Copies of this chain bind each other. A is one copy, B any other.
Amino acid sequence: MPQFDAAFRAKLVDLFRWRRDVRRFRPDPVDPELVRELLALADLAPSVGNAQPWRFVLVEDRERRRRVREHFLEVNARALARYRGERAALYARLKLEGLDRAPVQIAVFCDEATRQGHGLGRPTMPETLCWSVVLAIGQLWLAARAHGLGLGWVSILEPEAVGRLLEVPATWRFVAWLCLGHPQEEHLDPELERAGWQARTPLEARILVR
């Protein structure tokens, strides 16, 4: 049985602190074997009923990548229109995705029709199936960073449009479009904090005792 010592825990804290949502990638390719290894690590994530409902779509086709970026630009223009004044100007300056350059792009879905797990743990909280997929993405994110890669989660997309674009089964619910590659820069602070959009706030206000 492995022992986790203080030195490992200190590095794990570094991993959590230096994990970023990355939108600026170098174009260098990523070894496909490493991508498979990262997916295998994500596959070790917890899942409700051991359902393993995550489905990974490696998007390699250039035309599909072009179309998702075009779709992002449309959806993001509508998102921008929700803001006014200085906040709108600030939003317009943000870089929110790396769809143009990320060498690896993975669309992640939840198979809502899976029978694996026999429905255990879900009767009162059916969304735990999708949440299992989110846990797998979190694990993929950390594993990628430990390999010196950056990951960015793009959510400014219409789920149905992505499903159609990728021709996945109708029961697959879209969860995330992940951009993966070598980051151009490393930062300790989130990009949205650096850009003046939203700083982190103190933890104490998020803890209650009952």
- Name A's B-contacting residues (CB within 8 A): 1-2, 4, 8-9, 11-19, 21, 39-41, 43-46, 48-52, 54-61, 64, 75, 78-79, 82-83, 87, 91, 94, 96, 107, 116-125, 127-128, 130-131, 134-135, 137-139, 141-143, 145-148, 153, 155-159, 166-168, 175, 186, 190, 192-193, 197-201, 203, 206-210
Mostly, the A contact residues are mixed
Residue in contact with A124 in the complex, picked from B19, B52, B75, B200, CB distance below 8 Å:
B75
Q: Beyond the given A43-B203, A117-B198, could you list 10 further A-B residue pairs with CB under 8 A, ordered by the A residue number?
A: A1-B18, A12-B143, A19-B46, A50-B192, A58-B208, A60-B209, A96-B120, A116-B201, A122-B155, A131-B134
